A and B are shown apart, each in its own frame.
Chain A
């Protein structure tokens, strides 16, 4: 086996011979969306930062430090651990992009800190992150699933849960501040991260489904049971993490609705049905509006039904439409 591997030719990647069109589609999307934190004028938030109370500042720094930890895990452990499992060479290339963008995300939080915060406050938060049992438990639970010798599809499940679920107890806060016209430039940066994570969760979930369809019914059921059991365990940890962070400003229940909503979306990325019922997923409309600002809000079925608004002219690919 090893001998064979040594004698097999090393193969160059050929993007003109695709085995899976999705690889190129996602590669193009990720590369077009590439960004760096320097693009966002974070210093415009300095005055807004000064209006936050000390406890609100501490909370914000802690939340961002927790997010940095998850990005670090995904950059250095998660994405690289999935590369040997890739079904196509193009998938490996996409994973290398995902890995690098996670490093950009982790780096961005440090840009926010150096722009807005005192070194002492930030150092304290990094100590807190190492000592907080809930944050450590969630990161450790995921890292265990990435370990050498782990089932490649279980790795993908863990990765989708990290990208599409575990970040959201943190992403809630900048969306909340933004809905109150605070730290709006920081929120712009976080939206860029959220956009990337959505592509990552979608793509890895898609690859999971491609792997799953090759297996027999029994193995498929085992993986589904694994996924639901894992999200349940992670939800337990997230609930405690959320309460510890947000009880002080009375937002825990609001954050939890957001967690339920995102857990369901993470499961959808894997091709599974929702876990939490609609009543548990009624996310604060201000948070939803902060997530997708300027996106047309009127539609025929959920409005009064009396009217609809045709949006402003948007970028269409006119060369493709021939009418």
Chain B
């Protein structure tokens, strides 16, 4: 996705999303767990990878850190799409963070995967991002 955009992700201490991001092998900025650490400032449009932490009613789906990151208008302006992670075992709230961010920020849910993702998820996301940034360039032109 050279020339396309950045990736931003959040991963809690369990590290599932961080492991997925590392396996993608793309430049990726991490939203820190601790509020004391500096937030990344993506210079280009970006796709956000976000895990889901919803309770049974769907509350708390988006991690606080990601909400703080998106509350900043400059950072939010660069968001083009969201990839949501979760676990199907949570039923209707599977990867719910993607839908919440999509509704809130009016960007598409690009993809969903479980836990740290599979090899299939890696290849689909790489191919998807390539295509997506291609589409984005055309739209912007």
Query: CB within 8 Å of B: which residues of A?
Result: 20-22, 25, 28-29, 32-33, 35, 191-192, 194-195, 197-198, 202, 205-206, 209-210, 264-265, 268-269, 271, 274, 277-278, 281, 288, 291-296, 298-302, 305, 308, 310-311, 313-317, 320-323
Indicate which residue in B56, B99, B115, B120 contacts A296 across the interface (CB closer than 8 Å): B99
CA distance A35 to B128 in the complex (A): 40
CA distance A210 to B12 in the complex (A): 13
Chain B residues positioned under 8 Å from A299 (CB to CB): 108-112
B15 contacts A209, C-beta separation under 8 Å: yes
Query: Closest residue of chain A to B129, judged by CB?
Result: A301
CA distance A191 to B64 in the complex (A): 27
B14 contacts A316, C-beta separation under 8 Å: no
Query: Closest residue of chain A to B90, judged by CB?
Result: A195
CA distance A67 to B83 in the complex (A): 34
A268 contacts B76, C-beta separation under 8 Å: no
Contacts A197-B89, A295-B95, A314-B58; A301 near B67 (Cβ below 8 A)? no
Contacts A278-B119, A301-B124, A308-B109; A33 near B91 (Cβ below 8 A)? no
B93 contacts A271, C-beta separation under 8 Å: no
A-B contacts, 13 listed (Cβ < 8 Å): A29-B53, A29-B55, A32-B57, A35-B56, A198-B89, A293-B91, A295-B94, A298-B109, A310-B99, A315-B61, A317-B59, A317-B62, A320-B67
CA distance A28 to B55 in the complex (A): 9
A316 contacts B110, C-beta separation under 8 Å: no
Indicate which residue in A22, A33, A300, A311 contacts B13 across the interface (CB closer than 8 Å): A22
B118 contacts A301, C-beta separation under 8 Å: no
Interface contacts (Cβ under 8 Å), in number, total 145
- Shortest 4 CB-CB contacts between residues of A and residues of B: A301-B128, A198-B89, A301-B111, A292-B94
Chain A residues positioned under 8 Å from B12 (CB to CB): 22, 25
Contacts A308-B108, A311-B99, A320-B64; A281 near B118 (Cβ below 8 A)? yes
A302 contacts B90, C-beta separation under 8 Å: no
Chain A residues positioned under 8 Å from B53 (CB to CB): 25, 29
A315 contacts B57, C-beta separation under 8 Å: yes
B124 contacts A295, C-beta separation under 8 Å: no
Chain B residues positioned under 8 Å from A195 (CB to CB): 56, 89-91
CA distance A20 to B114 in the complex (A): 24
B73-96 toward A: CB 8 Å interface, digit per residue (1/0)? 100100001000001111111111
Chain A residues positioned under 8 Å from B109 (CB to CB): 296, 298-300, 308
B96 contacts A314, C-beta separation under 8 Å: yes
